[in-house]
Structure 1
Amino acid sequence: MIIVTGAAGFIGSNIVAGLNARGVRDILIVDDLADGHKCLNLADLDFADYLEYDELERRMAADDMPGGIDAVFHEGACSDTTEWDGRYVMARNFTYSKTLHAWCQRHRVAFLYASSASVYGMGPDFVERRNAEKPLNMYAFSKFAFDQYVRAQGRARRSQVVGLRYFNVYGPREGHKGRMASVARHFSNQIAEDGECRLFAGSDGYGSGEQRRDFIHVDDVVAVNLWLLDNPQVSGIYNCGTGRSQTFNDVADAVIAWHGRGEKRYIDFPKSLVGRYQSFTEADMAALQQAGYPNTFMPVEEGVPRYLDWLAARRTA
């Protein structure tokens, strides 16, 4: 059996889909379904059982879990970057993760968890080194704190432990995220509704729409996770991006090309984001490559139409 936490969320549900594509259906899915809308991410997927996240935490803390568990993909977290209730965020993202990590270590089960590129703050370096890590909000701090904990436990490690620092992930099954969904989805919705997509005007020395992020398709994220499952000798904390930054204009152009219509409009940069906005991110992928990861990553010119094709097929199904 494989456990996937955050299974009804964006990356978690795509990992379940990736496992299903391999013929794996003996999956225990775990989430917090207080917001039941997320269940739609799982409606076309196969799994064996379901637990609420707090029940999993209780049972793992009590060492009351069945045998035969091969791996835990831990994608569940409070992902709201505007949440400043530190006790709440640390309980969800740090303490919960420690409980799962401890159980996996006791039972020699692979533990693959979601970290975040937000630990790097404003950059400018995005490499897995302590001096590059400068979290700027509670969400980022909670991810940074758990990475610190994992590092401190390194010499006592009894089974595979991997943290993946996700960069700007986009793709299927993110509809529940609302305003936190990817710019590719927002741009597509804006063009469908108004015939134009709205980008920020120039900021931080970048021209209008020329701010740059490392945009990675969720299929590539799943491929990294499954490769790690296949390579239990690999442990550590790794970036998970493409290694190539692209502009918001690039994303908008890919969306416009797919729709065959639309224009770009630049809006004033929000004052509330001055000094708090990542105008540039780019994953240093050397560590993962040195660990043996063999695959390349989709640029937005390939990934965005792939995503919009999936959305169109869902709407017409």
Structure 2
Amino acid sequence: MTDGRNEAGVVIVTGAAGFVGSNLVAEIMRRDPASIIVAVDDCRSGSFANIVEACERAGVGPFIGDFLAMSTRDLDWGDLLEAIAPDAVYHLAAITDTTVSDERLMMGDNVEGFRDLVESCALAGTPLVYASSAATYGAPPEADSRRPLPESAAGSPSNVYGFSKLVMENLHAHVNEAIAAERGERPHIVGLRYFNVFGPGESRKGKMASMAYQLASQIRSGGRPRIFTDGSQARDQVHVADVVDCTLAGAAPGVKPGVYNCGSGVATTFNDVVDAVRAGLGVSEPDAPTDYFEMPAEIRAFYQSYTCADLSTVKAGLGWSPRRKPIDAIREYAAFLASREGR
């Protein structure tokens, strides 16, 4: 185990073997090759291979950090923070399958895996950036009128995953109040509501892989791209590199603690996603026509047919804006998938 006596900076990344986490690890290595990364992941859904491949894509050489194969619920965060004195903790570990209906499992993993962590970071003065989700919004009036979602619109999640993230934000708020009352200032804790993330490194996500990945896989296997009738549904699609950039911005000195949207700020229709994927693969519409089908009844009740991040608050609080336009990024990603055989 590394310890706080190291001169190099130490950071902890939970969920490090997952899609976003592995990309985050590689980007930290690229920006600060001397940093010591302590990766935490119980490997139930993540894989070491994600870290290996992310490092290869980033050209940073092999992963040289530490790895704790543990659930965040099983760690004594107070002892760990004291032992290694990290510069920051990035908490991405969670059950992210929005179709999971086992409420006890979801709440136990996501909420109880966060409770000790957020309290310990606040008490130790360790900057913490954690992944929340656009699932906290459910379907507010702004979505019905197809307007960008401000942070204040959250609070009516349509599934237990979104509810677990909402409760995490509540814990964050409670800790803020307690520390501010005691010390006169809020701790450096930033929550980021990730919207629909896509990009390299998601090949092991299975049914939870992005729409762009799923459509590209369908076309590349000789099938037709399948989307819900009539393709007018629209989601905020954001490239993983932008999400990683936003996540790192959350730990920078001088930022304003709080909960922020992390998206592209653009609602891209499913029809436009299909067109971008076909273009990236170099496939014409006649060769891969869209196959429309009705939304299954079992997901209709909690499905978000429209999401779009209002980015005004994150621009002001973190000084962050996405660099990639969704359509261009999806087209480039589809071409990447074709060239890298789906990774």
TM-score by length of 2: 0.83
Q: Report the counterpart of residue 19 of structure 2 in structure 1.
A: 10
- Name the count of aligned residue pairs: 309
Q: Report the counterpart of residue 106 of structure 2 in structure 1.
A: 89
Moved more, 8-17 or 149-158: 149-158
Deviation of residue 294 (structure 1)?
4.3
Deviation of residue 86 (structure 1)?
2.4
Deviation of residue 154 (structure 1)?
1.8
Q: What is the percent sequence identity of the aligned residues?
A: 36
Q: Report the counterpart of residue 50 of structure 2 in structure 1.
A: 41
Do the aligned residues in 1 keep the contact of 2:264 with 2:309 (CA within 8 Å)?
yes
- Helix, strand or coil for the counterpart of 2:221? helix
Q: Does residue 180 in structure 1 map to residue 208 in structure 2?
A: yes
Deviation of residue 173 (structure 1)?
0.9
Do the aligned residues in 2 keep the contact of 1:77 with 1:92 (CA within 8 Å)?
yes
Paired with 2:69 and 2:133, the residues of 1 have a C-alpha distance of: 23
Q: Report the counterpart of residue 128 of structure 1 in structure 2.
A: 151
Paired with 2:188 and 2:81, the residues of 1 have a C-alpha distance of: 21
Q: Does residue 31 in structure 1 map to residue 17 in structure 2?
A: no
Q: Report the counterpart of residue 265 of structure 2 in structure 1.
A: 243
- Helix, strand or coil for the counterpart of 1:153? helix
Identify which of 305, 308, 320 aligns with 1:279: 305
Structure 1, unpaired ranges of 5+: 202-207
Do the aligned residues in 2 keep the contact of 1:256 with 1:263 (CA within 8 Å)?
no
Paired with 1:64 and 1:238, the residues of 2 have a C-alpha distance of: 25
Moved more, 111-120 or 76-85: 76-85
Do the aligned residues in 1 keep the contact of 2:12 with 2:38 (CA within 8 Å)?
yes
Paired with 1:63 and 1:40, the residues of 2 have a C-alpha distance of: 26
The one-letter code of the counterpart of 1:108 is G
- Helix, strand or coil for the counterpart of 2:259? strand
Paired with 2:171 and 2:95, the residues of 1 have a C-alpha distance of: 18
Paired with 2:189 and 2:235, the residues of 1 have a C-alpha distance of: 27
Summarize the alignment of residues 1-317 of structure 1 with structure 2, pairs less than 5 Å apart. Answer: 1-24=10-33, 25-35=35-45, 38-44=47-53, 45=55, 46-54=63-71, 57-60=74-77, 62=79, 65-125=82-142, 126-129=149-152, 132-155=154-177, 156-157=179-180, 159-201=187-229, 208-261=230-283, 262-315=288-341
Structure 2, unpaired ranges of 5+: 1-9, 56-62, 143-148, 181-185
Do the aligned residues in 2 keep the contact of 1:59 with 1:65 (CA within 8 Å)?
no
- Helix, strand or coil for the counterpart of 2:107? helix
Paired with 1:43 and 1:26, the residues of 2 have a C-alpha distance of: 16
Paired with 1:169 and 1:234, the residues of 2 have a C-alpha distance of: 24
The one-letter code of the counterpart of 2:39 is I
The one-letter code of the counterpart of 2:327 is E
The one-letter code of the counterpart of 1:106 is L
Paired with 1:63 and 1:194, the residues of 2 have a C-alpha distance of: 50
Deviations 1:203-247 (A, max 9, x none): xxxxx1111111111111011112222234321000111111110
Moved more, 69-78 or 84-93: 84-93
TM-score by length of 1: 0.90
Do the aligned residues in 2 keep the contact of 1:111 with 1:161 (CA within 8 Å)?
yes
- When the two chains are superposed, the root-mean-square deviation of aligned CA atoms in Å is 2.2
Summarize the Cα distance change of 1:64–1:112 in structure 2 as closer, same or farther, 3 Å threshold. closer
- Helix, strand or coil for the counterpart of 2:47? helix
Moved more, 78-87 or 105-114: 78-87
Deviation of residue 198 (structure 1)?
1.0
Paired with 2:208 and 2:342, the residues of 1 have a C-alpha distance of: 25
Do the aligned residues in 2 keep the contact of 1:164 with 1:238 (CA within 8 Å)?
yes
- Helix, strand or coil for the counterpart of 1:307? helix
Deviations 1:49-73 (A, max 9, x none): 0112337743325557523310000
